[in-house]
Amino acid sequence: MNEKLELLYEGKAKKIYSTAEEDKIIIYYKDDLTAFNGVKKSSIQNKGKLNNEISEILFKVLENHGIKTHFIRKINNREQLCQKLTIFKLEVIVRNVIAGSMAKNLGIPEGTIPPNVIYELCYKNDEYKDPLINEHHAVALNLATYKELDYIMNVALKINDILKIILDKESIRLVDFKIEFGKNELGEILLADEISPDTCRLWDKQTNERLDKDCFRRDLGSVEEAYLKILKRIK
Ligand code: UDP
């Protein structure tokens, strides 16, 4: 039996609890949704359940393709048992289609397909609004070593290749996504956090309908319906 003991951390969308086993945590998926660095806030019915299930499915797909992740098993509709990691203070972003901050900051129309895949690092720091950095900044800030960054980039690009193909089969365009990595006691680097419509841009392949958090950021319609469409397609 794995039970929640102490609340270790409460984030915007999840709570992290300790368990009786030192090297394991329980992640609880909340219904809360925030955007623009916490300025816009809401609670979306069933969002936590949907993201718990979507993330479980995608982590299992990745594991089946040889990606090492923190995911151990789903406990119930809101909770997962995961390995306890020391998280790199990095947001790793991969983009296949230009959208969001890249479209805005560089004046490129959203939806433009670049000739290359774009890999970005951001410093995970709310106070400084998660600024875009490069690998030299990351090393200077002591966030990771060059060797670790190299490994993380290779795994992130492999994750992109895997997810792009499986989502495309369900008529979903993987526009971009954010992932996080952490290190366990053995020094292994594993994929951590979640992969869900909160952390990806997912567009319907035919209509470009937004099936992700942009529904909330930009008031484009029901968040629950959009996330449910993703779950139904990938299930
Ligand atoms: N993203 C995220 N958490 C963040 C910032 C970005 O999950 O704190 C995701 C976002 O949902 C999108 C991708 O990373 O899928 C790229 O986000 P972008 O840099 O365009 O920022 P945004 O305009 O979404 O703030």
Contacts for 190 with CB less than 8 Å, ≥ 6 apart: 68, 69, 70, 83, 85, 181, 182, 183, 184
Asked if 118 and 95 count as a contact pair (C-beta separation under 8 A), the reply is yes
Nearest atom (ligand 1) to Cα of 35: 25
What is the distance of C-alpha 117 from the center of its chain? 17
Cα 1 to averaged position of ligand 1 atoms, centre (Å) = 36
Bridge partners, residue 84, by sequence? none
SS3 label, residue 222: coil
The C-alpha atoms of residue 124 and residue 120 are separated, in whole angstroms, by: 12
Write down the mean pLDDT value for the chain: 98
pLDDT confidence of 193, banded at 50, 70, 90?
A: very high
- Is the pLDDT reported for residue 2 higher than 90? no
The C-alpha atoms of residue 21 and residue 48 are separated, in whole angstroms, by: 24
Asked if 192 and 55 count as a contact pair (C-beta separation under 8 A), the reply is no
Mean pLDDT, residues 213-231 taken together = 98
Distances (CA, A) of 8 to 25, 151, 182, 202: 9, 28, 16, 31
pLDDT confidence of 142, banded at 50, 70, 90?
A: very high
130 lines ligand 1 (CB under 6 A): yes
pLDDT (0 to 100) of residue 70:
98
Cα 94 to averaged position of ligand 1 atoms, centre (Å) = 10
Please report, rounded to a whole number, the percentage of residues in the chain having pLDDT higher than 90. 99
Take residue 78 and report the two structure tokens written for it: 């809101």
Asked if 234 and 58 count as a contact pair (C-beta separation under 8 A), the reply is yes
Half-sphere exposure of 112 (CA within 13 A, CB side): 15
The pTM of this model reads 0.98
Asked if 97 and 173 count as a contact pair (C-beta separation under 8 A), the reply is yes
- pLDDT tens sequence across 34-52: 999 999 999 999 999 999 9
The C-alpha atoms of residue 110 and residue 95 are separated, in whole angstroms, by: 12
Q: Which residue, by CA, sits nearest to atom 6 of ligand 1?
A: 178
- Is the pLDDT reported for residue 31 higher than 90? yes
194 lines ligand 1 (CB under 6 A): no
Take residue 105 and report the two structure tokens written for it: 């900051």
